[in-house]
Amino acid sequence: MAPTIPPLFKRPAQRPLVMGIVNVTPDSFSGDGLCLSPGGPDKALTIALQMIEDGADILDIGGESTRPGATPVGEQEEIDRTAPLLAALRRAMPDLPLSIDTMKPAVAAEALKAGASILNDVSGLRQQPVMRTLAAQSGAYLVQMHNSARPEAIANTTSLGAAYLAPEEQTIASIRQDLAALADEALNAGVPSEKIILDPGIGFGKSQQMNLALIAQLTAFLPLGYPLLVAASRKNFIGRVLDLPVTQRLEGTAAVTAISVMQGASILRVHDVHSMRRVVDMAVALKMATA
Task: Report pLDDT digits (tens) over 100-141.
Answer: 999 999 999 999 999 999 999 988 877 789 999 999 999 999
Position 170 pLDDT exceeds 70: yes
Q: Is residue 272 part of a domain?
A: yes
Q: Is residue 7 part of a domain?
A: no
Q: Is residue 73 part of a domain?
A: no
Q: Is residue 239 part of a domain?
A: yes
Q: Is residue 193 part of a domain?
A: yes
pTM: 0.87
Q: Which of 100, 111, 114, 113 is nearest to 21 (CA)?
A: 100
Q: Is residue 68 part of a domain?
A: no
**End-to-end distance of the chain based on CA atoms, in angstroms?**
37
Average pLDDT, the chain: 86
Q: What is the CATH number of the domain that holds 174?
A: 3.20.20.20
Q: Is residue 1 part of a domain?
A: no
Active-site residues, by number, are 235, 269
**Cα–Cα distances in Å, from 140 out to 117, 220, 289, 291?**
5, 26, 34, 32
239 by Cβ neighbours in 10 Å (0-12 / 13-18 / 19+) ranks as buried
Instruction: Print burial letters for 112-133: b (CB count within 10 Å at least 16), e (below 16).
Output: bebbbbbbbbbbbeebeeebbe
Position 173 pLDDT exceeds 80: yes
Domain of 45 in residue numbering reads as: 17-63+78-290
Chain centroid to CA 289: 28
Mean pLDDT of 5-10: 48
Q: How far apart are CA 153 and CA 93, in angstroms?
A: 41
Range in 53-62, 77-86, 96-105, 159-168 with the lowest mean pLDDT: 159-168
Of the segments 122-126, 234-238, 256-260, which one has the largest average pLDDT value? 256-260
Q: Is residue 259 part of a domain?
A: yes
How many domains, in total, are found in the chain?
1
pLDDT interval class at 36 (50, 70, 90): very low
Strand partners, 229: 267
